[in-house]
Structure 1
Amino acid sequence: MSGQGREHRREERAGNEPSAGTPGAHVRRVLLTVHTGRHDIVELARTSAARLMAGGITVRLLAEEADDLAIDGAEVVPGDEKAACDAEIVMVFGGDGTFLRAAELARYTDAALMGVNLGRVGFLAETEPEAVEETLSAIERCLYRVEERLALQVDVLDRDGDVVGGTWALNEVSVEKAERSRVLDVVLAIDGRPLTSFGCDGVLCATPTGSTAYAFSAGGPVVWPDVEALLLVPSNAHALFARPLVTSPNSVLTVAVPPDGNTARVSADGRRVVEIPDGGRVDVRRAERPVRIARVHASTFGDRLVAKFGLPVRGFRDARHLGPGHELFTSRTVLSRDVVTGDGRVLDADADTHIDGDVGADVVAGEVGGAGTRDDG
């Protein structure tokens, strides 16, 4: 399984084990990957590194970031495929772009990715800046779990069926037209069987993790990360049947480009590009190696959806009383219409209950015993 359905938990070290500073003891390493273009991110990375090193953990930096971070006592390594070797965690300070860059470094190691979101949305990151101390404490005590997320393996073949290139992706693979002024003609096949053909701007093959990224913008479904599946999402297709598709995780998704059509290329996570030969095709399947993501907090994927998109969590009848922008204040649940307070307590709507709080408390308290009962239509 992938995602949250397949978790590994690091347990706290026993008190009689040697510390990291003891000769012969296992040295714990954390590789930092940082968006160094912002001063606040650099400062947070520095203070976090100091906290980790004070706890006996070795901090490792990428050579291209070391001068900007200027962290004394840190290891410095080249930013290549060996950067995360022997590291326990790759800790990411930045947005989803920085996280995807870090995923490249951890790809062929056992290191788990742990992100501190300092971008605009940050679906991949585990921690917001205000919870960094809690996250660092969990790393020190090995109190985190590791999710294995499904990744994609991509093979690019020429018209003779020979593999001429390849790559991988955590979020999505985009088969794109090379010339913006022309439509891209494609033929889609699932498990070697032709399905349909049309003209389009491109076709996305995505993972559940990537369902909230490019595929989401193209009209694809939101898929919980513990669901094992592959997604195929056409982009601006000229066809009546061009719906997003969800297939088995063991399927092979094929996007073929006719030899007399527009030239095309593959973009993986927006970071790696492979050209598609004329008349060639792209085969996308589940990768053998998943991506490991470390989690500390108990929030669910649904919680993150609500927080990231500011989703209303009340029925429209309740929302009208406080107006837009107050969806997360004291309210009623949509199903039971019980009152949910800001601290998560659930109060029976039929009880004679006084609700404390300065925003909308009088209105909601009045509804409990008045017009807003379970019997209203």
Structure 2
Amino acid sequence: MGARRRAVVVTHIRLRETSLVVREAVEQLRRAGFVVKVVDSLDPPRFGEPSPIVDSDTEIVVVLGGDGTILGAAELVHNTGVPILGVNLGHVGFLAEFESFQLSEAIARVADHDYSIDERNLASVCVTSPDGKATVNDWALNDIIIQQADRDHMIELSVGVDEVEASSFSCDGVIISTPTGSTAYAFSAGGPIIWPDVKALQLIPLAAHALFTRPMVISEHSRFSVDLIDDSLTDGWICCDGRRKMKLGYGTRTTVRLSQSTVRLASLSGVPFTNRLVTKFNLPSVSLRQRSRLEERRREHIIANENKGRNGEAENDREE
């Protein structure tokens, strides 16, 4: 008898208690021959500290929830090589491969090993103390946010690329995003969408009080540095993926580069990223002008049918 296959189902405690989808997923995985462990509470570790990870014999992690739950699950598979399959029970669910109504198909494909792997690069983060002697390291799949600690004041930051100061300004903070995170907070803040297979990082200032506040995109060979200026009116906070946080003191430097480490997402559909982009964001496939012309033709068609109907009724009246 072969070794038992093992899967971890990651969800939210509220969904585990209320959602039939979660119960059905666990039952279907068990029927497919998996030993299933359910994780419904994902408390983030402290910034710079390792998180608990899945057992080494875990075959796959199935996430039932939204993108936030997938980011939490990424901590469980960090540096393990275990793939994540996302089934969207949230809102946009950009990282999810399937919607909830496709659950049976997803699990059948997993049981048959019928999936490919989408490697998503992580960002490597290093926070250095003002004297340069102490460092704290972390990582991010989506983004790194540096913001003011005191909401009544703007934070003063100096942004550099490859040890060259590029700009400094007062702001609410900055977002440093991976391509994976470019469709999340970075997009809402005005950053460009970067295709997942592009090896790059972007930085977007938040409400910066300066003339030059455009997003910057750098290659995999470069790195961002963000210094919290000594005479800033407030100190700051850093947060990775909306989960792991740490306070930043005056004079600290945060360096971010693209890591060679990846998180492995199970891909079942083979659908290009562009298709997902159009579907998830409900993007218009026609221009406003084209849409107006199509609407006009639709109205003309309706009127023509109504006239045809009235003419037919009049013809019947004459025959009678």
TM-score, with length taken from structure 2: 0.86
Q: Partner residue of 2:147?
A: 176
**Mapping of residues 47-62 of structure 1, within 5 Å:** 47-62=24-39
Separation (CA, whole Å) in 2 of partners of 1:108 and 1:363 = 59
Q: Which residue number corresponds to residue 205 of structure 2?
A: 234
Structure 1 residues 154-193: aligned runs within 5 Å: 154-193=125-164
1:36 alignment partner AA: I
Deviation digits for residues 76-115 of structure 1 (CA, Å, limit 9, x no counterpart) = xxxx523343212111000111111111111121211111
The alignment partner of 1:250 has SS state of: coil
Q: Please list, as runs of the form range in 1=range in 2, the aligned pairs for 1:75-224 lying within 5 A after superposition.
A: 81-224=52-195
Work out which structure has the larger RCO, using CA pairs closer than 8 Å and 6 or more positions apart in sequence: 2
Residue identity matched to 1:48:
A
Cα deviations by residue, 1:161-214 (Å, 9 ceiling, x for unpaired): 123322211100011110111111111111111111111110111100000111
Query: What residue is the counterpart of 1:28 in the other structure?
Result: 5
Answering whether residue 249 of structure 2 is matched by residue 272 of structure 1, we say no
More helix by share: 2
Looking at structure 1, the residues matched to 262 and 299 of structure 2 have their Cα atoms a distance apart, in angstroms, of: 47
Task: Say if 1:169 and 1:269, in contact at 8 Å, map to a contact too.
Answer: yes
Match of 1:292 among 264, 272, 282: 264
The aligned runs of 1:297-376 (5 Å cut-off) are 297-321=269-293, 323=295, 363=301
Moved over 4 A (4+): 321-324, 360-364
How far 1:159 sits from its partner (Å)?
A: 1.1
Q: % of aligned pairs identical?
A: 38
Change (3 A) 1:126 1:40: farther
One-letter amino acid matched to 1:271: R
| More deviation, 199-208/27-36 | 27-36
Amino acid at match of 2:116: R
User: Which stretch has the larger CA shift, 147-156 or 305-314?
Assistant: 305-314
What RMSD over aligned residues (CA atoms) do the two structures have, in Å?
2.3
Cα distance in 2 for residues equivalent to 1:40 and 1:167: 33
- Residue 82 of structure 1 aligns with an amino acid whose one-letter code is I
Deviation at 1:317, TM superposition (A): 3.5
Q: What is the alpha-carbon distance in structure 1 between the residues aligned to residue 85 and residue 225 of structure 2?
A: 32
Instruction: Quote the Cα distance in structure 2 between the aligned partners of 1:39 and 1:150.
Output: 30
User: What is the identity, as a one-letter code, of the residue corresponding to 2:281?
Assistant: F
Q: Cα deviation per residue 1:240-264 (whole Å; 9 max; x = unaligned)?
A: 1111011011211100011121201
TM-score (norm 1): 0.73
Please give the alpha-carbon distance, in whole angstroms, between the structure 1 residues aligned to 2:300 and 2:31: 49
Matched, 1:43 2:43: no
Residues 64 and 272 (structure 1), Cα distance of their counterparts in 2 relative to 1, 3 Å cut: closer
| Paired position in structure 2 for 1:374 | none
1:340-369: CA deviation from partner (whole Å, max 9, x where unpaired): xxxxxxxxxxxxxxxxxxxx59959x9xxx
Residues 170 and 210, structure 2, Cα contact 8 Å, conserved in 1: yes
**Distance (Å, rounded) in 1 between the aligned partners of 2:277 and 2:119:** 20
1: CA distance, partners of 2:137 / 2:235: 17
Using the TM superposition, give the Cα deviation of residue 50 of structure 1 relative to its aligned residue in structure 2, in angstroms.
Answer: 1.4
Gap change, CA 1:162 and 1:288, over 3 Å in 2: farther
CA contact (8 A) 1:41 1:93 kept: no
Tell whether the 8 Å contact from 2:124 to 2:259 is kept in structure 1 after alignment.
Answer: yes
- One of 234, 239, 243 as aligned partner of 2:214: 243
- Structure 1 unaligned runs (5+)? 1-21, 66-79, 325-330, 332-359, 367-377
Matched residue, 1:355: none
Name the residue aligned to 1:225: 196
Report Cα offsets for 1:273-300 as digits up to 9, x if no partner.
0222221110111223211111101322
